[in-house]
Amino acid sequence: MADMDNKDQAEMDPADLEDVEDVEEEETGEDENSKARQLTVQMMQNPQILAALQERLDGLNGSPSGYMESLPKVVKRRVNALKNLQVKCSHIEAKFYEEVHELERKYAALYQPLFDKRSEIVTAAYEPTDEECEWKADEEEELTVSKQDEMKDKAKLEEEKKDEEKENPKGIPEFWLTVFKNVDLLSDMLQEHDEPVLKHLQDIKVKFSDPGQPMSFTLEFLFEPNEFFTNTVLSKTYKMRSEPDENDPFSFDGPEIMSCTGCTIDWTKGKNITLKTIKKKQKHKGRGTVRTVTKTVPNDSFFNFFTPPEVPENGELDEDSEVILAADFEIGHFIRERIIPRAVLYFTGEAIEDDDDDYDEEGEEADDEEGEEEADEENDPDYDPKKDATPPAECRQQ
């Protein structure tokens, strides 16, 4: 197959796939892994093969194997007994998650003093001691004593120079804004006009429902006094449920967010960035005169996060609202589970690298293959890197 040209590949009948595999075995004589890899490449390059495989997979998707239907009636009865046991397991699992929620509430109280200290440092309410600021680098990052001294002297000179140019900043300026900008899930919500407002965000807290109350958590965004709104706290509450659905008990997979409610933002006159004013020209049908009409319409903004669509009592939503709420639930859960506990790591970017590591396994494999190809090219005596050099960015944009 490696000797096939693109024309031959395009004309290949999907039904000939098995023949291609046989030819490959005879011609190459390579091991099974190598043949499988080459076959995968062949399939990816041939849209006819992909279409044929997809059609076959679509036919299999969701179709029962027929095995259950073939079982004797007495065995089916026993399987039903197992399913009833599984429903009981789901109810026990629901209780488990309720107790997990109680543990979260308990440990939230232990975390809170540390988060309060973090907020005091960010807002310059507390200046950490030299001992608190000392950070031991990893062994891989450790430098020689002389190099460390050299860098300390250089850093000291730079700090003195900065102090001459401007006043020493207080706390950690734009801490939460930087966190938001570093996280794709949140930065996608940010608009340029949101940034001046979020510079006043001082802290984000999570509060769990009281013992004995339905499961829920509230996100609180604490702001310093600012010119945009009079609120000092913007809040959003997510109501949760940890119980199997009576109509579909096997779908239970832990607590799920059922609805959320935001808060009213008391915008200062003329500062509401969730609205924008547009002007439209209207022509009178009879007289032909033209007038300009001013309209106020919704504007894209992170602060729309605090006015989510309402979930009706019957739980039925239109498609757009479902999409918005699904994204909203994901964001709320991410802020609670990741952003609040690890804010400094998202500020520095270290948590972002950890998140990327969770999804880069396939990419790393691809990079390894590309690296092997590059190495082969470099070992080729006729290889000229200038011929394959990537053109400058300005050329690629033309």
Percent of the chain with pLDDT over 70: 63
Q: Tell me the average pLDDT across 304-313.
A: 84
Give the pLDDT of residue 331. Answer: 93
pLDDT band with cut points at 50, 70 and 90 for residue 257: confident
250 has pLDDT over 80:
no
Judge whether residue 68 has pLDDT over 90: no
Q: CA-to-CA distance for 195 and 198, rounded, in angstroms? A: 5
Selection from 206-215, 312-321, 356-365 with the highest mean pLDDT? 206-215
Q: How many angstroms separate the CA atoms of 39 and 17, rounded? A: 9
Confidence of residue 115 (pLDDT cuts 50, 70, 90): very high
For 94-128+171-311+318-356, the fitting CATH number among 3.30.1120.90, 3.30.1490.190, 3.40.50.720, 3.60.15.10 is: 3.30.1120.90
Task: Measure the CA dihedral 316/320/326/329, to 10°.
Answer: -90
Reply yes or no on whether the pLDDT at 23 is more than 60: no
pLDDT range class, residue 176, cuts 50, 70, 90: very high
* Nearest Cα to Cα of residue 97 among 257, 212, 215, 205: 215
Average pLDDT estimate for 238-242: 84
pLDDT of residue 56: 59
Confidence of residue 105 (pLDDT cuts 50, 70, 90): confident
Residue 158 has pLDDT above 70, yes or no: no
CA distance 109 to 181: 28
What's residue 353's pLDDT? 65
Whats the size of the chain, residue-wise? Answer: 398
For tokens 């990079």, name the residue: 367
CA-based nearest residue to 207, from 199, 215, 198:
215
- pTM exceeds 0.75 for this model: no
The model's pLDDT over 261-289, given as tens digits with 9 standing for 90+, comes to 999 999 999 999 999 988 888 777 777 78
pLDDT at 315 over 80: no
Q: If you average pLDDT over every residue of the chain, what do you get? A: 75
Mean pLDDT of 333-345: 94
Residue 45: band (very low, low, confident or very high) from pLDDT cuts 50, 70, 90: low
